[in-house]
Structures are given as structure tokens and as C-alpha cells.
């Protein structure tokens, strides 16, 4: 797994690529909380994530909650069908704001 | 050239398994497999060997001969480290739940994470609550197991079994002793977990209705041998007498062969009586 954090038109985009599992999720968590720590709207680009397990989803949940406490917007973009199924199993597809494409999220949050 | 729709990989391969408990032969030349993302139901009467087969597939017990490959690895040849790594990839929902009575529901569910991972405690807490949501026990993390009903204990055991998102989930009689509504909800849960997480699930049950609802394939064991392996439709259309008996829920007693029964009752009795001076 690898990640990148960058600012695009006033939005922090956290791009995660690869599998997010028990081994790699601590690093994903660090990236997500780092992104939230920049006090701007956060958009998580998951287009490159093939597999995300519960520990990865838990890191997304923690980051969302931290962003809400800070009054920041936090959204996911370009999630795969597999990621959507994992989120919906615990009904988290109702909790996250999810954009089909990164550009849609950037337009909305920027 | 590769086929357009290659068959899913085999996550479990059982080859020519033979198991003796003392003089008794429990499994006799059992060969079967479980495919990636498949729900395989193992059925059979009491003493058919299904629980023994399950324990051996979980690498909890060794067979007398034959082999079991789990995700391509021969169980007998795994070293301790490989076995430890393998155990992270399987989940087990035991028949009675097997929750620790001195720990809360949440602590029970978190236990595999504490043992096998170095995740942050916040991540683990959220994972526990997510899994409790999945099994419809949201908000129950601080209760003790003794405060749960039988169906709730089973669901909590499921939550613990799936906490690590296992590749393979073993379920021993998941709906035994539950009322039909709760049993059916557990079946739905098994189907949802497979669909969402893509895990292979092996379910031992004697509940026909449940088997028909969830199974991709069914293995029927009879007196330690494989009587049938196939889909639900293939099982329904089988013309084997013992399969028909199973489908019609006829008991051993109803299909008793009187001559065979008499032989079983009296076989070796004269020698026993002779040895004891009777």
C-alpha cells in the first residue's frame, strides 16, 4: 500500500493505493489522520484500492469522526464495488459521503 | 489458452482422509474440496464423521492418513510460524458460542485482534462495534455473555469469528437450538458476509432448510464416507435411497433393517459372555 497527501484547490486529497489490510491499515490511518490534521476539507481517493478490510474501514470511521469534531468536511471518492460492499455490510455507506469520481468531490468540497 | 470462466481456486482440498479413534474408523477415504467464495454445507447424521472432518479442516486434529491442503499448504507440513499465520486467516464460530464468561461481549470479540495484531486500540474498538452492527448486536459491547440469549451468544460468536475478516469461516451447527426466525436471520447473515467479504464458509448443520437456503454445494457424510457432493438442485434430484431418506427426514430407526440390527446387537456377544463366565 502507498499513499499521497496533497492540496487541490483548498481540499486535502488523501490518495491511497493498494490493499488496506491488517498489515497496512496503521499506515493508512496515519495518512488519514495526517490529512484531517491539516484543518481543511478532506477527500479520500480510493480508486486505487483493490481490497480494504475492517481495520481500514475503522480508520476511515475514526478519521471521519475526528473531522466532524473539527468541523471539517470528510468524504470518500471513487470507491470500488468491493469497498462499497464492505461499507454496506456495517451500513457505513449511509454514514460516509461518497462521490463517484474524484472530480465530483473536488467540485463539491472546493 | 485459459478458459473464459476458470473455476474458482480451491481454498481447502481434502484427499483420501482416513481417521481412526482406536479401533473405530470415523472417516474412510474422504475426498472433497471447498472453493474460493463458496458456502459448503456438510451434512450427516450423528456419528457420520462431519464434526471430525470439520476439526481436521481447521487443523485442530490430525487424521490417521490422507492429506488436507489449506490455501495450497499441506497442514501436516506447516511449521509453528506458518500455522500461526494460517490461524489469522480463519474464523471459527463454535456451536455453543465459546465466549469467555469473565469478559464482556466486546472484550471477547476483540480477543483475536489483541492476540494477532498490533492495531491501535481505537481501531480495534471501532472494528468491534462495526462487527456488532453486522450481527445486529449494536450497543451490546459492555454486556457480559451471561446477559445474552442463546441466539445473541451465537451472533456474538459470529462477530468474534469475523473480526479479522477471515478468508475461511468455519461454523459448527450455527442454528442448532434456535427458534426458526432467529435461525433464518443467522442464515441471512452468513449469506451477507460471503457476498460482502468474499469469504469461503464451511457450515456443519443437520438443518435441511438452512442448508438449502445458504449452500452453494452440499457434502453429505454417512458412516464416515462421502455419500454425496453437489449443488442443492443435484441433491434434490438424487435418486439414492439414503439421500431420499435424508430429504424426507427419515430417521435411522424408521429405515432400520431388522436383520442387520439383530446382527449388530448380537455380534460377538457369545465371545463376551464366554470371557466373563456368563
**Tens digit of each residue's pLDDT (9 = 90 or more) over B134-148:** 888 989 999 999 999
Contacts of B53 (CB under 8 A, 6+ apart): B14, B17, B27, B30, B42, B221
Show residues of chain A in contact with B134, CB under 8 Å.
89-90
The string over B57-79, giving b where at least 16 C-beta atoms fall within 10 Å of a residue's C-beta and e elsewhere, is bbbeeebeebebbbbeeebeeee
**pTM confidence score:** 0.83
How does the average pLDDT of chain A come out, rounded? 94
Query: Model confidence at B266, in pLDDT bands (50, 70, 90)?
Result: confident
Distance separating alpha carbons of residues B208 and B187, to the nearest angstrom: 12
Burial category of B28 from C-beta neighbours within 10 Å (exposed 0-12, middle 13-18, buried 19 and up): middle
Distance of CA B112 to the CA centre of its chain: 19
Residue B121 touches partner A, C-beta closer than 8 Å = no
Residue A79: pLDDT band with limits 50, 70, 90? very high
Residue A13: which H helix or E strand, with range? Answer: strand A11-17
pLDDT at res. B257: 73
User: A99 near A108, Cβ under 8 Å?
Assistant: yes
Q: What band does B262 get if pLDDT is binned at 50, 70 and 90?
A: confident
In this prediction, residue B272 carries a pLDDT of 57
Chain A residues with CB inside 8 Å of B192's CB? 89
- Chain B nearest C-alpha distance from A5 (Å): 21
Parallel/antiparallel/unpaired status of strands A42-48 and A11-17: parallel
- List, in order of start, the domains of chain A with CATH numbers: 2-109 (3.30.750.24)
> Is residue B276 scored above 80 in pLDDT?
no
B127 → closest Cβ in A26, A58, A89: A58
Q: Which whole number is the average pLDDT over A81-106?
A: 92
CB contact A95 to B (< 8 Å): no
Residue A71: phi, psi to the nearest 5?
Answer: 75, 25
Chain A: give the shortest CA distance to residue B222, in Å.
37
- For residue A8, pLDDT over 60 is answered with yes
Predicted local confidence at residue A67, as pLDDT: 95
**B61-100 residue pLDDT tens:** 888 999 999 988 898 888 888 888 888 888 988 776 688 8
A41 DSSP assignment: -
For B130, which residue in chain A has the nearest alpha carbon?
A90
CB-based burial of residue B49 (10 Å sphere; 0-12 exposed, 13-18 middle, 19+ buried)?
A: buried
Average pLDDT over residues B1-24: 80
Residue A14 near residue A32, CB atoms below 8 Å? yes
- Phi and psi at residue A101, in whole multiples of 5°? -130, 150
Percent of chain B with pLDDT over 70: 91
Q: Do B133 and A59 touch (CB under 8 A)?
A: no
Residues in chain A closer than 8 A to B166 (CB atoms): none
**Mean pLDDT (whole number) for B170-199:** 85
Partner residue facing A88 (CB), from B88, B165, B196 = B196
pLDDT of residue B255: 61
Q: How far is CA B16 from the centre of its chain?
A: 19
Q: Taking all residues of chain B, what is their mean pLDDT, rounded to a whole number?
A: 86
How many contacts, defined by CB atoms under 8 Å, are there between A and B?
A: 55
pLDDT of B94 reads: 77
Quick check: A61 contacting B, CB < 8 Å?
yes
Amino acid at each position: 500500500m502507498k499513499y499521497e497527501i496533497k492540496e487541490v484547490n483548498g481540499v486535502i486529497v488523501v490518495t491511497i493505493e493498494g490493499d488496506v489490510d491488517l498489515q497496512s491499515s496503521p499506515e493508512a490511518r496515519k495518512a488519514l489522520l495526517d490529512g484531517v490534521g491539516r484543518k481543511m476539507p478532506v477527500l479520500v481517493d480510493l480508486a486505487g484500492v483493490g481490497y480494504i478490510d475492517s481495520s481500514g474501514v475503522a480508520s476511515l470511521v475514526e478519521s471521519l469522526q475526528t473531522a466532524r469534531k473539527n468541523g471539517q468536511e470528510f468524504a470518500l471518492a471513487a470507491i470500488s464495488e468491493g469497498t462499497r460492499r464492505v461499507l454496506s455490510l456495517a451500513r457505513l455507506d449511509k454514514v460516509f459521503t461518497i462521490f463517484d469520481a474524484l472530480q465530483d468531490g473536488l467540485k463539491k468540497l472546493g | 489458452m485459459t478458459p473464459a470462466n476458470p473455476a474458482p481456486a480451491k481454498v481447502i482440498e481434502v484427499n483420501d482422509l482416513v481417521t481412526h479413534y482406536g479401533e473405530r474408523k470415523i472417516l474412510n477415504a474422504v475426498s472433497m474440496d471447498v472453493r474460493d467464495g463458496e458456502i459448503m454445507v456438510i451434512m450427516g447424521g450423528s456419528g457420520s464423521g462431519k464434526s471430525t472432518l470439520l476439526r481436521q479442516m481447521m487443523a485442530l486434529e490430525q487424521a490417521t492418513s490422507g492429506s488436507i491442503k489449506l490455501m495450497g499448504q499441506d497442514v501436516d507440513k506447516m511449521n509453528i510460524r506458518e500455522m500461526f499465520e494460517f490461524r489469522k486467516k480463519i474464523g471459527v464460530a463454535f456451536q455453543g458460542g465459546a465466549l469467555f464468561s469473565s469478559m464482556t461481549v466486546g472484550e471477547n470479540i476483540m480477543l483475536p485482534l489483541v492476540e494477532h495484531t498490533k492495531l491501535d486500540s481505537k481501531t480495534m474498538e471501532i472494528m468491534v462495534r462495526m462487527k456488532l452492527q453486522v450481527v445486529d448486536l449494536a450497543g451490546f459491547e459492555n454486556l457480559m455473555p451471561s446477559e445474552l440469549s442463546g441466539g445473541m451468544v451465537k451472533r456474538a460468536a459470529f462477530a468474534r469469528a469475523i473480526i479479522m475478516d477471515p478468508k475461511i469461516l468455519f461454523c459448527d451447527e450455527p442454528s442448532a437450538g434456535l427458534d426458526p426466525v432467529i435461525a433464518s436471520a443467522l442464515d441471512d447473515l452468513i449469506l451477507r458476509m460471503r457476498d460482502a467479504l468474499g469469504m469461503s464458509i464451511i457450515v456443519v448443520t443437520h438443518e435441511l432448510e438452512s442448508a438449502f437456503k445458504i449452500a452453494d454445494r452440499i457434502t453429505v457424510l454417512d458412516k464416515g464416507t462421502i455419500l454425496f457432493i453437489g449443488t442443492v438442485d443435484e441433491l434434490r434430484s438424487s435418486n439414492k435411497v439414503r439421500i431420499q431418506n435424508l430429504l424426507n427426514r427419515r430417521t435411522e430407526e424408521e429405515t432400520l433393517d431388522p436383520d442387520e440390527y439383530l446382527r449388530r446387537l448380537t455380534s460377538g456377544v457369545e465371545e463376551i459372555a464366554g470371557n466373563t463366565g456368563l
